[in-house]
Amino acid sequence: MRIVDIIPLVMQAGAPEVTSWTGAGGTSALATGRNWLFVKVVTDVPGLVGIGEGSGWPRVIHAAIGDLKQELIGQDARDIERLWQRMRLAMMGHGDTGVVGAGAITAIDMALWDIKGKALGTPVWNLIGGKLRRRVRYYAHVKTVADAQALVARGVTTVKLGGHENIVERVAAMRAALGRAIDITVDLHGPPWLPASDAIAIGKALEPFDILFLEDPVAPEDVEGWGRVRRALPHTPIAGGERLATKWGAQTLLRSGLVDIIQPDTGRAGGITEMRKIAALAEAHFVQFAPHSGSLGPVAEFAALHLMAAIPNGLMMERLEPDWAGKAQAVTPVPEAEDGHLLVPDRPGLGVELVEDFIAAHPSRRNVAIATGGWQDAEEQGATYVAMRRRRAQLLSPEEGQS
């Protein structure tokens, strides 16, 4: 069973209807539009084509897949681990793999698992250990109490708020409206302008609300800052890892006990092959696994479902709900939701196919942009490191700041 072609497809996806990326104010680039990168791996078996998805920087990954393709044509599609190692070796001369290189590997690796499942007539979860659960709990983004109440009415039991502007005040309002039966998570997004001292101040102010976890309190590169946050907030679960790639990236947070929940991104961590290894590494450190899927498209969501069905330490997965309406038109079928869970598919492979006419009708326009509003200081023109130093009092609500 040989690979005869690898075809990347990139599309412009619309903005999600609700997201916590923008926090209390401003507009993030991802909130106004995203790129989704899909891939088709074609074999010499008539009709046997695998699909995958990669993120990290979709337009750049599109080019990377075209490069990697030269090393994979003619290879046996069943040798997934060997091909994963071959792709990494091919990139070695270009430096650290990073999320862009890992995103390209991810898309192809995901498609190879899809091929194997289709060839054997069984779901991917059955190839990676079998089914531990028939459905996977998810959490969703909110900006307002009304957003949260709408999700709770559909059975969702965990909501996420994002950003740091007025975050304590917003969490207080959310907790008062939802009570203690609903979990609340907070994502600070790990910006380089938010030092550990300020992340700790926010974390301490949030302690009375018993949040489920505090996500990305500082930048992923600030390993010393992660340690300061961990030591200062011993009773607050800490989560992170979405901007890291491969098991070696995850190990940065796991080996020193810096996180309670690891969140590798399903589209850029290294594929199903690597995500299984990260989950096992996390299990060995008594850490739970909650894959990030923020801006991802529908194929990666299916991949996360298969993985979460088969690992013992799967906590829950992220989902945008409601998302852009076109998400349900880019693939067939769509995941089935039930009481705040997604049902694990039983079809062979990943159990999803691309709607290529719809994808082609939404060509990529752009993929990067500077966010506006919120934390930004218009006078600085991108010199973000001083932004927090001039508005530190606004980290806490007025009531908390006066206490």
Whether 44 maps to a domain, the answer reads yes
Q: Tally the domains of the chain.
A: 1
Whether 370 maps to a domain, the answer reads no
pLDDT of residue 403: 39
pLDDT exceeds 90 at position 33: no
Domain that holds residue 281: 1-364+375-403
- CATH of residue 33's domain is 3.20.20.120
Among residues 222, 277, 284, 223, the alpha carbon closest in space to that of 248 is found at 277
Percent of the chain with pLDDT over 70: 88
The predicted-structure confidence for 159-181, as pLDDT tens digits, reads as follows: 999 988 889 999 999 999 999 99
pLDDT exceeds 60 at position 377: no
Categorize the per-residue pLDDT at 25 as very low, low, confident or very high, splitting at 50, 70 and 90.
low
Question: What are the CB-based long-range contacts (under 8 Å, 24+) for 358-363?
Answer: 358/326, 358/329, 358/330, 359/9, 359/11, 359/38, 359/330, 360/9, 360/11, 362/11, 362/12, 362/13, 362/326, 363/11, 363/12
Average pLDDT over residues 204-211: 97
Categorize the per-residue pLDDT at 19 as very low, low, confident or very high, splitting at 50, 70 and 90.
confident
Whether 369 maps to a domain, the answer reads no
Whether 329 maps to a domain, the answer reads yes
Distances (CA, A) of 229 to 164, 209, 235, 389: 15, 18, 11, 18
Average pLDDT over residues 245-260: 96
pLDDT of residue 225: 98
Is residue 189 annotated as part of the catalytic site, yes or no? yes
pLDDT of residue 21: 61
Structure tokens at 43: 């074999």
CB atoms within 10 A of CB 283: 14
**Selected catalytic residue, list 62, 141, 164, 189:** 189
Q: Under DSSP, is residue 243 helix (H, G, I), strand (E, B) or coil?
A: coil
* Mean pLDDT across the chain: 91
DSSP letters along 8-36, please? EEEEEE---SS-STTTTS-B-HHHH-EEE
pLDDT exceeds 50 at position 402: no
DSSP letters along 110-164, please? HHHHHHHHHHHTSBHHHHTT--S-SEEEEEEE-SSHHHHHHHHHTT--EEEEESS
Query: How far is residue 65's CA from residue 127's CA, in Å, rounded to a whole number?
Result: 25
pLDDT of residue 106: 97
DSSP state, residue 348: S
pLDDT exceeds 70 at position 42: yes
**Selected catalytic residue, list 285, 292, 306, 341:** 292
Categorize the per-residue pLDDT at 337 as very low, low, confident or very high, splitting at 50, 70 and 90.
very high
Categorize the per-residue pLDDT at 401 as very low, low, confident or very high, splitting at 50, 70 and 90.
very low
Is residue 292 annotated as part of the catalytic site, yes or no? yes
Q: At CA 307, angle to CA 340 and CA 7, rounded to 5?
A: 110
pTM score of the predicted model: 0.94
pLDDT exceeds 70 at position 26: no
Query: How far is residue 97's CA from residue 88's CA, in Å, rounded to a whole number?
Result: 7
Whether 103 maps to a domain, the answer reads yes
Average pLDDT over residues 204-227: 97
Residue 5: in which H helix or E strand, if any? strand 3-13
pLDDT exceeds 90 at position 120: yes
pLDDT of residue 22: 58
Q: At CA 246, angle to CA 241 and CA 250, rounded to 5?
A: 35
Average pLDDT over residues 275-298: 95
pLDDT exceeds 70 at position 154: yes
pLDDT of residue 400: 46
Least confident of 66-80, 162-176, 228-242: 162-176
Average pLDDT over residues 234-259: 96
pLDDT of residue 204: 97
pLDDT of residue 30: 63
User: What angle in degrees, to the nearest 10, is found between the helix axes of 58-72 and 80-91?
Assistant: 110
Average pLDDT over residues 58-86: 96
Whether 144 maps to a domain, the answer reads yes
